[in-house]
Chain A
């Protein structure tokens, strides 16, 4: 109960913050582009809506840019923005003189980031569904998709992507807790992300911690590029995340200057 109250106190800081707007914009980004494209090509989309694979296609289209681009970049920026609420406002010193354990501060802040990530997934899925069916509601010649919505399959897909992006959350959180300058974690994050995308087809690319979202998307959709991993990438992803979070925790708790 006490942890929930402290979590809420942390979450209150995100009110009207840039991180919240980033989550909203990020979740709307790909579904909106797909919606705009369908409206632009409205004369030819009617058969697509009658396809039994309508939802699978919509899912793959929406996740293509999201897994490669929107989700990793969004996490890199949002994680930095959450910790910047303390850095920019010179508020670490006030937070560290409140009667809370450093462990509590570390984890409440981490859970706020995780909660924002969950909000992203929820909003993204709502947008994916809403903007996919909207043409059918707006255009008389487009039928409402008769294919059943594959809820269980998409839930599993969401869980997989959530696990796959955790190493990015872990390392970005550790970096942004340590560096006052927003550009340092941002730069390191972008470099690792570009490196991951650049060597995606490498046979050992599964060893890179920032690659798993793209890896999962390619593995699910690409026929040309076959990506394999000797270890379950979701397990690898969780392992990387735990290592990064532990390092971040040790460095944070032992930092000689706390604001």
Chain B
């Protein structure tokens, strides 16, 4: 069994060093791993991902940011071109089979044999992993599919398919779970159920979970660590607390008043630079006391104040601020 790596007093279940990737293009590139041409679009730029052992690591990024490519490289589904990938402390390239024994994965849509039942689907993987047959009932029970009987996977709802995909990933009791947008297509109830299940797994079995998403709001109640990728570059990596602090600093205050031009004049008194956007005044992040002082001054100037709100849950804004940084 592979042991997690110990680097700088931190144990990492997954670690990448300068992971870069270009889409292979040209004649024969889909057949054999010819090196990509220099003109091929670069998908990943020196990504240094570090997933601490026992963490729930949220890998965030917009569609096309490079999340799935990174995860597929970690799992060996794409041929690595540049960089180093370590899974549980060992080079994945040199220890592919041992690494995969410790990983459970669900990449994009679940891979289910639609003509087979849930139990039959799991039997295929039970044989491959060589786990006891009783484990099938255990994982079906865990994901709430114990009573699907002879129903074929083709007849399952999207939520049931996602849960069966998760059951396949959990069948061999992996120490690392890699999930690529597992809540895609799930209804709000399904998202909450999935979140609770993952929390339970991490809490009770100590599994490290690497989960990708394009919605910060969806995973902020789940993750302990966050990595943000944009345009193939890892822009942020750290604990959730560190991200929230960063988000607070990058958040904006929106003032809705009866007169935006006069509001701007009031703000000048506080040496604050704002901008007017469709009758609202947008300000950078401010201390609570400063906001209160501005509100008092606006009232004193006889400007009607309709609303003050903070805008800080927009991942796009965080991305943009991180890019600007």
Of B32, B33, B128, which is within 8 A of A6 by CB?
B128
How far apart are the CA atoms of A90 and B165 in the complex, in Å? 12
Tell me if A89 counts as interface (CB < 8 A to partner B).
Answer: yes
Contact: A91 with B103, CB < 8 Å? no
113-157 of chain B: CB within 8 A of chain A: 113-116, 120, 123-125, 127-130
B107 at the interface (CB under 8 A from A): yes
Q: Which residue of B lies closest to A98 (CB)?
A: B128
State whether the Cβ of B100 lies closer than 8 Å to any Cβ in chain A.
yes
A256 touches B116 (CB 8 A): no
B105 contacts partner chain A, Cβ-Cβ < 8 Å = yes
Contact A91 B112 (CB under 8 A): yes
Q: Are A91 and B30 in touch, CB under 8 angstroms? A: no
Closest A residue to B31 using CB positions: A251
Q: What's the dominant secondary structure at chain B's contact region?
A: loop
A contact residues around B123 at 8 Å (CB):
9, 12
Q: Is the CB of B124 within 8 A of A93?
A: no
Tell me whether A259 and B77 are in contact (CB under 8 A): yes
Q: CB distance B128 to A100 under 8 Å?
A: yes
Output the nearest chain A residue to B180 by Cβ-Cβ distance: A93
CB distance from B166 to the nearest CB of A (A): 12
Q: Are A97 and B100 in contact (CB under 8 A)?
A: yes
Min CB distance, B228 to chain A, in Å?
24
Report which of A8, A17, A97 forms a contact with B77, defined as CB distance below 8 A: A97
Determine if A6 and B77 form an interchain contact, defined as CB atoms under 8 angstroms apart: no
Against B, the Cβ 8 Å flags (1 = close, 0 = not) of A69-89 are: 000000000000000010011
Q: How many residues of A contact B (CB 8 A)?
A: 32
Q: What CA separation (Å) do A97 and B111 show in the bound complex? A: 11
Q: Is the CB of B32 within 8 A of A91?
A: no
Type the 1/0 row for A159-198, where 1 means its CB is closer than 8 Å to any CB of B. Answer: 0000000000000000000100000000000000000000
Q: How far is the CB of A43 from chain B (nearest CB, A)?
A: 46
CA distance A251 to B33 in the complex (A): 9
In the complex with contacts A89-B112, A254-B32, A254-B33, A97-B75 CB distance below 8 A: yes
* Interface residue? B64 (CB, 8 A): no
Interface flag for A257 (CB, 8 Å): yes
The answer to the question of A101 belonging to the interface, with a C-beta cut-off of 8 Å to chain B, is yes
A99 with B127: CB separation less than 8 A: no
**A101 nearest CB across to chain B (Å):** 7
Contact of A16 with B by CB under 8 A:
yes
Which residues in B have their C-beta under 8 angstroms from that of A101?
Answer: 97
Say if the beta carbon of B101 comes within 8 Å of chain A: yes
Q: With A98-B100, A99-B128 given, is the CB distance from A89 to B114 under 8 Å?
A: yes
Question: Is A90 a contact of B109 with CB atoms below 8 Å?
Answer: yes
Which listed residue, A17, A97, A256, touches B115 by the CB 8 Å rule? A17
Q: What 14 new A-B contacts, CB under 8 Å, besides A12-B124, A12-B127, A16-B115? A: A9-B124, A9-B128, A12-B116, A15-B115, A88-B114, A89-B111, A92-B111, A93-B107, A94-B107, A96-B77, A101-B97, A255-B31, A255-B32, A256-B29
Chain B interface residues toward A at CB < 8 A: 24, 29-33, 72, 75-79, 97-98, 100-101, 103, 105, 107-109, 111-116, 120, 123-125, 127-130, 168
Which are the 7 A-B pairs with shortest beta-carbon distances? A94-B111, A9-B127, A91-B111, A99-B100, A256-B33, A99-B101, A256-B79
